[in-house]
């Protein structure tokens, strides 16, 4: 692993703080590795996100709590990966490490176990398929039942809503009927008052006519004495004119009252029709309400019958409880005797357990003595019994001393490896195999190094050729865009051409030669555009999309760029995303989005 590519990622501090609260957490694996400081990033990159736990249970608890966001390992060799898979595992305590030869002997046995497991898995898969089919059928039945329940619930909801709506309509119609009756009463009162006013107006008109007749008669008499009472006649004529005006006013009021009477009669007729219509609707509502009330009575009857059945059932349960209490009382003595027998059995069971423990201890001691006999003397129990019958030891102290001397002599010989020949042959074969592999790898490495050197040489040649073409194109495009000046790109000296830096030196018209980074923002943008089109000129493309590359240019340079695009648009189709006026003026087609109405966008196109 290259040191420069090592990122050195570690678990977050907050996550480490949370892990410290989990029992069995020992730390991060990278912290348990000692290395030089310059290799610390490599260690952190490899082991910085691996948490170490004492047991697998602790690792599983931490991984589940943090959704398997990091890898966990245990002291027993278990590896809990971020996918949830568990691999590895250590040896049981007291066992010797398993070597390559032991693993080789275990392979056929494991293959047999694997075949058996595969058969069991296939059988289980078949059973699982059958169970899935049964589950699917059950789910279908369950869905059907759920649909039926939902349909019944919807029907009940619709009926309840209909009943409530009918009640509301009935209430609304009753209120409307009362309102119409009240309006009709008010209109009738108004008609009665209007008739009364008309009668009063008629009486007043008759009285005025009678007064007019009397005044005319008096006028005739006054005409005879016109010469003597001309002044009185003029007053009487004026009074007569006033009476005629009042009569005309009363006639107008009479006609208006008659028109009101006709209108009120029509409204009364219309109101009567509406009242009859609402009475019909109210009757229908009352019929529907009566039907619902009958249905409610039927349901209430069913509920009452169910309550009666429940009462009968409760009575049966109470009778059964009473009989049970009587049986319990009669069995009281038997239960006491049974408890005594159970206690006696318990004591016998405890005694049996004690004897079983003694038996197990005795067997363990016998097995320990047999193991000691085999480990120290390599004798079985039967062989030792046979020797005891044939050999008689007279002096146990001398025999024990001789045993100690023989053991010391055996230890002085050192460990004896009975499998040394087999291990040597296996080691020689492995050495020959590894040597052949190493030779092949060295040859492959040399071949790859040769190919890499050849590719690097070809890449340098091609790069220099293409670089020279881009260099010339850049100089030409720069002069065309700036209207003069010079521009050049050069490679850094003393370095590999494939890894060295590139300097851009430009000289706009009227300025001295300088590095591109010393130019203004607009000049740098136009220089970058010139380099872009220099590369594009080396290998033209039939289609090119530019996104606001002239945003940092002033108006004069925008028009220069537009004119240059006109010259190169013969071989390449350009689509520009822009908001600059100069670019849009020289475009052949314009496409934009407008919003004539709020929230409604519309695409607009224009050919110039």
pLDDT, position 53: 92
3-class secondary structure, 321: helix
Q: What are phi and psi of 257, to 5 degrees?
A: -65, -40
Q: How far apart are CA 145 and CA 136, in angstroms?
A: 14
| pTM of the entire predicted model | 0.32
- The per-residue pLDDT for 551 is 87
Split at pLDDT 50, 70, 90, the class of 61 is confident
Q: Reduced to 3 states, what is the DSSP secondary structure of residue 379? A: coil
| Per-residue pLDDT at 489 | 87
Mean pLDDT, range 174-202, rounded to an integer:
66
Give phi and psi for 553, each to the nearest 5.
-90, 155
SS3 97: coil
Q: What is the pLDDT of residue 191?
A: 59
Q: What is the pLDDT of residue 508?
A: 84
Percentage of residues of the chain with pLDDT beyond 90: 9
* Helix axes 521-538 and 420-482, enclosed angle (nearest 10): 110
Tell which wins on pLDDT, 239 or 7: 7
Residues 292-348 have pLDDT tens digits of 667 667 766 766 666 676 667 667 656 666 665 665 565 555 556 666 666 777 777
Neighbour order of strands in the sheet with 50-53: 25-28, 50-53, 71-74, 78-80, 86-88
| Residues 538 and 470: beta-carbon distance below 8 Å | yes
Q: Using CA atoms of 210, 212, 216, 221 in order, give the dihedral in degrees to the nearest 10.
A: 70
Q: Which residues of 542-558 are buried (b: 16+ CB within 10 A; e: fewer)?
A: eebebeebbebbeeebb
In this prediction, residue 97 carries a pLDDT of 44
Given this chain, do its domains 3-92 and 466-607 carry the same CATH topology?
no
DSSP 3-state of 498: coil
What is each CA distance from 150 to 142, 157, 159, 160, 164, in whole angstroms?
12, 10, 14, 15, 21
Distance CA 204, CA 200 (A): 6
Domain ranges of the chain: 3-92, 118-326, 344-416, 466-607
Is the CB of residue 190 less than 8 Å from the CB of residue 264?
Answer: yes
Q: How far is Cα 605 from Cα 595, in angstroms, rounded to an integer?
A: 14
Q: Please give the average per-residue pLDDT across 19-33, as a whole number.
A: 88
Task: Report the b/e string of 209-246 with b at 16+ CB within 10 A.
Answer: eeebeebeeeeeebeeeeeeeeeeeeeeeeeeeeeeee
Task: Give the span between the Cα atoms of 186 and 279, in whole angstroms.
Answer: 20
Question: Quick count: other Cβ atoms within 10 Å of Cβ 273?
Answer: 10
The mean of the pLDDT values for the chain is 76
Would you state the structure tokens that stand for residue 156, as one six-digit string?
């009940």
pLDDT at 588: 87
Instruction: Look at residue 96 in the predicted model and tell me its pLDDT.
Output: 47
The CATH fold assigned to 466-607 is Rossmann fold (3.40.50)
More confident of the two residues 228 and 156: 156
Local structure of 123: helix, strand or coil: helix
Taking only the tens place, the pLDDT of each residue in 440-497 is 999 999 999 999 999 999 998 998 899 899 989 889 988 888 888 888 888 877 677 8
pLDDT tens digit string along 379-416? Answer: 777 877 777 777 777 777 787 788 788 878 877 877 76
**Bridge-partner residues for 600, per DSSP?**
597
pLDDT at 99 over 60: no
pLDDT for the residue 449: 93
pLDDT band at 94, cuts 50/70/90? very low
CB atoms within 10 A of CB 15: 16
Q: What are phi and psi of 57, to 5 degrees?
A: -60, -45
Q: Which tokens is 557 given?
A: 């340079």
Helices (H) and strands (E) in the chain, counts: 12, 12
pLDDT of amino acid 235? 63
- Positive or negative torsion for Cα 124, 130, 136, 139: negative
Helix (H) or strand (E) run with residue 229 in it? none
Question: Does position 73 have pLDDT exceeding 60, yes or no?
Answer: yes
Architecture per CATH, 3-92: 2-Layer Sandwich (3.30)
Mean pLDDT score, 266-295: 64
Dihedral sign, CA of 145, 151, 155, 160? positive
Dist. CA 459–CA 461, nearest whole Å = 5
- Mean of the pLDDT values across residues 586-591? 89
**How much is the average pLDDT of 564-571?**
85
More confidently predicted of 152 and 95: 152
C-alpha closest to that of 52 among 32, 68, 67, 69: 32
Strand partners, 254: none
**Position 577 pLDDT exceeds 80:** yes
Do 70 and 52 touch, CB atoms closer than 8 A? no
pLDDT (tens digit per residue) in 222-271: 555 555 555 655 666 666 666 666 667 766 766 776 676 677 667 666 66
Please write the tens of the pLDDT for every residue from 107-153: 677 677 777 767 777 777 777 777 777 777 777 776 776 677 677 66
The per-residue pLDDT for 92 is 47
Instruction: Tell me which residue of 490, 497, 484 sits closest to 526, measured CA to CA.
Output: 484
Average of per-residue pLDDT across 551-563: 87
Whether the per-residue pLDDT at 503 is higher than 80: the answer is: yes
Which pLDDT score is estimated for 100? 43
C-alpha of 517 from chain center: 48
Q: How far is CA 52 from CA 57, 68, 77, 133, 295, in A?
A: 12, 14, 10, 44, 73
In the predicted model, is pLDDT for residue 90 greater than 60?
A: no
Q: What does the pLDDT read at residue 275? A: 59
**Inter-CA distances, 357 with 74, 317, 351, 361, 363, Å:** 37, 51, 10, 6, 10
């Amino acid at each position: 692993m290259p040191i420069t590519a090592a990122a050195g990622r570690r678990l977050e501090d907050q996550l480490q703080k949370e892990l410290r609260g989990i029992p069995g957490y020992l730390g991060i694996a990278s912290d348990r590795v000692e290395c030089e400081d310059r290799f610390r990033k490599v260690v952190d990159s490899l082991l910085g996100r691996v948490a170490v736990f004492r047991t697998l249970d602790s690792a599983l608890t931490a991984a589940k709590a943090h959704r398997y966001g990091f890898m966990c390992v245990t002291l027993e060799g278990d590896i809990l990966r971020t996918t949830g898979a568990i691999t590895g595992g250590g040896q049981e305590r007291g066992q010797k490490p398993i070597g390559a030869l032991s693993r080789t002997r275990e392979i056929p046995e494991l293959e047999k176990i694997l075949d058996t497991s595969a058969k069991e898995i296939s059988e289980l898969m078949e059973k699982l398929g059958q169970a899935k089919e049964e589950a699917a059928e059950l789910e279908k039945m369950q869905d059907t039942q759920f649909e039926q329940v939902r349909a019944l619930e919807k029907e009940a909801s619709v009926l309840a809503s209909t009943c409530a709506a009918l009640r509301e309509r009935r209430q609304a119609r009753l209120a409307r009927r009362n309102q119409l009756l009240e309006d009709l009463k008010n209109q009738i009162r108004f008609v009665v008052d209007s008739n009364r006013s008309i009668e009063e107006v008629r009486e007043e008109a008759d009285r005025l006519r009678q007064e007019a007749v009397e005044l005319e008669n008096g006028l005739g008499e006054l005409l005879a004495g016109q010469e003597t009472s001309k002044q009185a006649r003029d007053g009487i004529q004026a009074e007569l004119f006033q009476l005629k005006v009042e009569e005309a006013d009363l006639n107008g009021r009479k006609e208006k009252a008659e028109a009101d009477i006709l209108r009120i009669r029509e409204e009364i007729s219309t109101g009567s029709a509406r009242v009859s219509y609402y009475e019909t609707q109210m009757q229908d509502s009352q019929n529907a309400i009566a039907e619902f009330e009958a249905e409610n009575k039927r349901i209430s009857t069913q509920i009452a019958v169910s309550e009666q059945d429940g009462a009968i059932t409760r009575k049966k349960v109470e009778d059964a409880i009473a009989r049970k209490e009587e049986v319990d009382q009669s069995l009281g003595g038997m239960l006491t005797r049974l408890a005594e027998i159970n206690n006696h059995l318990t004591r016998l069971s405890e005694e049996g357990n004690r004897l079983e423990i003694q038996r197990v201890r005795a067997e363990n001691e016998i097995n320990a003595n047999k193991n000691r006999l085999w480990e120290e003397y390599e004798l079985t129990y039967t062989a030792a019994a046979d020797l005891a019958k044939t050999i008689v030891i007279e002096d146990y102290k001398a025999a024990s001393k001789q045993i100690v001397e023989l053991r010391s002599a055996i230890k002085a010989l050192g460990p004896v490896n009975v499998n040394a020949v087999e291990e040597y042959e296996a080691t020689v074969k492995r050495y020959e195999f590894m040597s052949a592999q190493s030779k092949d790898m060295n040859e492959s490495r040399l071949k790859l190094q040769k190919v890499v050197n050849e590719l690097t040489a070809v890449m340098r040649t091609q790069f220099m050729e293409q670089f020279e073409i881009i260099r010339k194109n850049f100089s030409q495009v720069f002069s065309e865009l700036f209207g003069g000046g010079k521009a050049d790109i050069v490679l850094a000296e003393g370095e590999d051409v494939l890894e060295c830096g590139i300097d851009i030196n430009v000289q706009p018209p009227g300025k001295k030669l300088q590095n591109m980074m010393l130019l203004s923002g607009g000049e740098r943008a136009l220089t970058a555009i010139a380099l872009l089109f220099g590369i594009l000129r080396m290998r033209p493309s039939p289609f090119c999309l530019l996104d606001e590359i002239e945003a940092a240019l002033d108006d004069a340079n925008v028009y220069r760029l537009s004119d240059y695009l006109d010259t190169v648009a013969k071989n390449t189709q350009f689509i520009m995303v822009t908001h600059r006026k100069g670019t849009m003026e020289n475009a052949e087609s314009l496409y934009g989005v407008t919003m004539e109405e709020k929230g409604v966008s519309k695409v607009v196109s224009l050919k110039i």
